[in-house]
Amino acid sequence: MLKEKMLNALNEQINAEQYSAFLYLSMSAYLNDKGLPGFANWMYIQYQEELTHANKFFNYVNERGGKVEIKAIKQVDIEFESVIDVVEKTLEHEQLVTSLVNNLVDIAISESDHATQSFLRWFVDEQVEEEANVQEILDTLKLINGQGNGIFMLDREMRQRTFVDETQAAG
């Protein structure tokens, strides 16, 4: 059984993951509107990944006998200045999510909740990968100043990304 403090934090994380999903869906729509279908595809896959993360937390809370509390999601941004702005905001958001996951680990440690610590290990590793991937894209965008032929080449590369539900392999 989950202790109240841990349960409340996990429920907040479900909400945060759903917010992340809708933020990335909004970014996908923006990028599609700007004629960057590859970037839009990349963000749409981010949207799908965040939903699977929310579902993984949802299922975990249920497995541990906790009550899931679905809450309202605040309005996400729908306008951005440029593709660089989108990716910068993505990196900032992933850094926020990393801090939220780290906070969950801290709570699990303070509550001596070894099962939740084990469960969260996958998310800790996932956030390292998420930040590194976004940073790489941002670095490339800055090299090409987010324009010219380089952006079209990068956009074409981003089209190749496909969705894989990595949470299934994680157990």
Average pLDDT over the chain, rounded to whole?
Answer: 95
Helix H segments across the chain?
4-33, 37-63, 83-110, 114-143, 148-158, 166-169
What's the pLDDT score for residue 171?
A: 53
Query: DSSP label at 142?
Result: H
Mapping DSSP onto H, E and C, the string for 8-50 reads HHHHHHHHHHHHHHHHHHHHHHHHHHCCCHHHHHHHHHHHHHH
Domains and CATH numbers, the chain: 4-68+78-165 (1.20.1260.10)
Residue 165 — pLDDT band, cuts 50, 70, 90?
confident
Tell me the pLDDT tens digit for each residue of 10-33.
999 999 999 999 999 999 999 999
Torsion of CA 124, 3, 68, 109, to 10 degrees: 0
Q: What integer is the mean pLDDT of 38-47?
A: 97
Residue 120 — pLDDT band, cuts 50, 70, 90?
very high
Q: What integer is the mean pLDDT of 153-168?
A: 88
Residue 168: is its pLDDT beyond 90?
no
Q: Is 22 exposed, middle or buried (0-12, 13-18, 19+ CB in 10 A)?
A: middle
Tell me the pLDDT tens digit for each residue of 61-108.
999 999 999 999 999 999 999 999 999 999 999 999 999 999 999 999
What's the pLDDT score for residue 109?
A: 98
What's the pLDDT score for residue 170?
A: 54
Tokens describing residue 164: 């894989």
What's the pLDDT score for residue 147?
A: 84
What's the pLDDT score for residue 169?
A: 63
Q: Is 171 exposed, middle or buried (0-12, 13-18, 19+ CB in 10 A)?
A: exposed
